[in-house]
């Protein structure tokens, strides 16, 4: 069985407060985009290992055992010990450490594939419970529609936001920014969490042409200070005619929204992921 885990971008990101469990409450708008990985899972009853994971495409650094796809299987295996071994093939196209939620999407789509492959009959609520144990924004990929998210990144309310009339350009500078590091290091050094003067839920209802002055990602300024080349990408996107441009998540990918598709010369010059 095969699924195509897609990525997301953040339209604004506010850090509200640090929680007693060490995580942070945030507010953001998640918007799904069609840059996708490819994930295949098949039963492999004769395997000595519970999961055999093969990866192709973009390199995935770190211990393979820590891969969220394997963790998703292990999580279900605790409640369904009769699950037989599986072989997974993950073809990575979504950059890692880029603010696009690729790992979270892979994990959530693993839950969906295993639910179907083993006919577990898990409800949306049950899948959501498992997804939240895997990662803060994993639950979004069960909804996979524009939504306002709070808490650690849990979807709170679906919003009517149709941006299909715009061309999206995603530019990745090849800088890996670990989300855990960003929250544990950038926030205490550079940010003062708390309510914002302008509510994100109000700002997102403004015309896209006004977002430049109202939609704020709290991580942009400190990340731009650390990596001026990321800020330069945003400035270039605006100079090329983007109606709105911003960094997604904790970075490092920057997206631009255009009313018309940028020139081929521009697309060939920069690390464009998708247009």
Q: Catalytic residue at 92? A: no
Whether residue 53 contacts residue 88, with contact meaning beta carbons closer than 8 Å, is answered with yes
Which of the following is catalytic: 8, 36, 92, 106? 8
Active site includes 265?
no
Pick from 40, 169, 133: nearest CA to 92? 40
DSSP E strand stretches across the chain: 2-3, 6-18, 24-36, 38-43, 51-57, 86-92, 147-150, 154-158, 167-171, 244-247, 254-258, 272-274
Name the active-site residue from 37, 92, 106, 137: 137
Nearest to 35, CA basis, from 102, 108, 111? 102
DSSP state of 80: -
In DSSP notation, 17-53 reads EE-TTS-EEEEEEEEEEEEE-EEEEEE-TT-SSSEEE
Provide the angle, in degrees to the nearest 10, between the axes of the packed helices 102-117 and 124-134.
Answer: 140
d(CA 15, CA 174): 25
For the chain, what's the residue count?
Answer: 275
Residues annotated as catalytic are 8, 137
């Amino acid at each position: 069985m095969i699924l195509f885990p897609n990525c997301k971008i953040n339209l604004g990101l506010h850090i509200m407060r640090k929680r007693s469990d060490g995580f942070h409450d945030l507010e953001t708008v998640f918007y799904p985009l069609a840059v996708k990985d490819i994930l295949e899972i098949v039963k492999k009853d004769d395997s000595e290992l519970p999961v055999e994971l093969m990866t192709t495409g973009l390199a995935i650094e770190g211990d393979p055992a820590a891969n969220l796809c394997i963790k998703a299987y292990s999580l279900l295996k605790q409640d369904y010990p009769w699950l037989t071994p599986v072989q997974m093939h993950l073809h990575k196209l979504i950059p890692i450490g880029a603010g696009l939620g690729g790992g979270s999407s892979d994990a959530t789509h693993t839950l969906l594939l295993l639910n179907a492959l083993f006919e577990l009959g898990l409800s949306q609520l049950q899948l959501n419970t498992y997804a939240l144990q895997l990662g803060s924004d994993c639950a979004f990929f069960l909804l996979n529609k524009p939504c306002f998210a709070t808490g650690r990144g849990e979807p709170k309310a679906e919003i009517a936001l149709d941006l299909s009339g715009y061309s999206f350009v995603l530019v990745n500078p090849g800088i890996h920014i670990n989300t855990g590091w960003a929250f544990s290091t950038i926030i205490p050094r550079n940010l003062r969490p708390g309510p914002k003067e302008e509510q994100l839920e109000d700002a997102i209802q403004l015309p896209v042409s006004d977002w430049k002055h109202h939609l704020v990602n709290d991580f942009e300024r400190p990340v731009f200070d650390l990596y001026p080349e990321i800020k330069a990408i945003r400035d270039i996107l605006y100079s090329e005619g983007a109606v709105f441009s911003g960094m997604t998540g904790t970075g490092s990918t920057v997206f631009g929204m255009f009313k018309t598709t940028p020139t081929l010369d521009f697309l060939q010059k920069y690390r464009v992921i998708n247009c």
